[in-house]
Amino acid sequence: MKLLICDPTAPDAIAKMRAAGIEVDVRDDISADELMKVIPEYHGMVVRSRTKVRQPLIDVARNLKLIVRGGVGLDNIDVDYARSKGITVMNTPAASSISVAELTIGYLFALARRIPDATASMRAGKWEKKALSKGTELTGKTLGLIGCGRIGQQVVKRAAALGMTVLFYRRTKVNVPNATQVSLDELLTKSDYISLHVPHTPETHHIIGAPEFAKMKDGVYIVNCGRGGTLDETALYDAIVSGKVAGAALDVFEDEKEDRGKKLFTLPQVIGSPHIGAGTREARARVGEEVAEKVIAFYQENF
């Protein structure tokens, strides 16, 4: 089996796959044009979020049997089309859950206590104690989670430990300790903080938009460490300007190639990061380990 590593992958995982007898080529900075040229010779490919696997690439990948996405989302892969061509598509949904959950909790603290503002003020040589001593505690506040899968449930554990009341909306009924499942409308009207943890699909596109903001409490905070496109960024901008939303923290954006929420970042109430939710040493190691296990199992069953 010949495997192409298209995005950065843990060296230990690469070594493990090679030890299992797989021919592994590492091209973790390969361009889209070059990938189109070389993919026909490979049986498998490993990608993260950078590499897009769309229909034109799949059409020329005549020997491709396996695509493994190191991470949770599969929105950078035309999954149904690949599977229609007999290609197996896998991901590593559990490996980065803790890292994304911890970033979410970190953003709750940052919004509640205006930590980025305080840091910027100190760097500017200021001592604005009075102005920056108007934060709030998370204890006793209500956190609403839109989506409550692996990552959401890790957020629940940590938020409950902080003394927050946790509500969650999910289409399917599920029992989550320390959290209460409610309708979307109830979550919107009762939450002090709202965090998105759903994949981006046609059903979840702009699941939070202008009508949803209108139902929220005045002074609500929004966090999105899930997927870009689930949050209507234009509606969020308007809600912050109007005062409905007190602040927002974003790790993902609807157009991460070009726009990246640039208009939102003209507002001082918005903080964010460049899609680093899974960007920890521990998550990278777990992702690599899970990728290796899935590739080796596929190799042993099919070659």
Instruction: Judge whether 2-92+281-302 and 97-272 match in fold.
Output: yes
pLDDT at 94: 84
Q: Nearest CA to 180 among 215, 156, 158, 199? A: 156
On average, the pLDDT of the chain sits at: 96
CB 71 within 8 A of CB 92: yes
Domain limits of the chain? 2-92+281-302, 97-272
Q: Which CATH architecture does the domain made up of 2-92+281-302 adopt?
A: 3-Layer(aba) Sandwich (3.40)
pTM of the model: 0.89
pLDDT at 217: 98
Measured between alpha carbons, how far is 48 from 53 in angstroms, rounded to an integer? 10
pLDDT at 93: 84
Q: Which of 227, 260, 284, 286 is labelled catalytic?
A: 227
3-class DSSP state of 197:
coil
pLDDT per position as a tens digit, 151-193: 999 999 999 999 999 999 999 999 999 999 999 999 999 999 9
* Whether residue 227 lies in the annotated active site: yes
Q: Which of 186, 206, 256, 289 is labelled catalytic?
A: 256
pLDDT per position as a tens digit, 76-90: 999 999 999 999 999
pLDDT at 190: 98
* Whether residue 275 lies in the annotated active site: yes
pLDDT per position as a tens digit, 57-79: 999 999 999 999 998 878 899 99
CATH class of the domain comprising 97-272: alpha beta
* Whether residue 83 lies in the annotated active site: no
Give the tokens for residue 17: 């796959």
- The highest-confidence range among 91-100, 229-238, 277-286, by mean pLDDT, is 229-238
Buried b (16+ CB within 10 A) or exposed e, 17-36: beeeebebebebebeeeebe
Residue showing tokens 């209460």: 180
pLDDT at 104: 98
Measured between alpha carbons, how far is 182 from 88 in angstroms, rounded to an integer? 36
Q: Which of 206, 275, 289, 293 is labelled catalytic?
A: 275
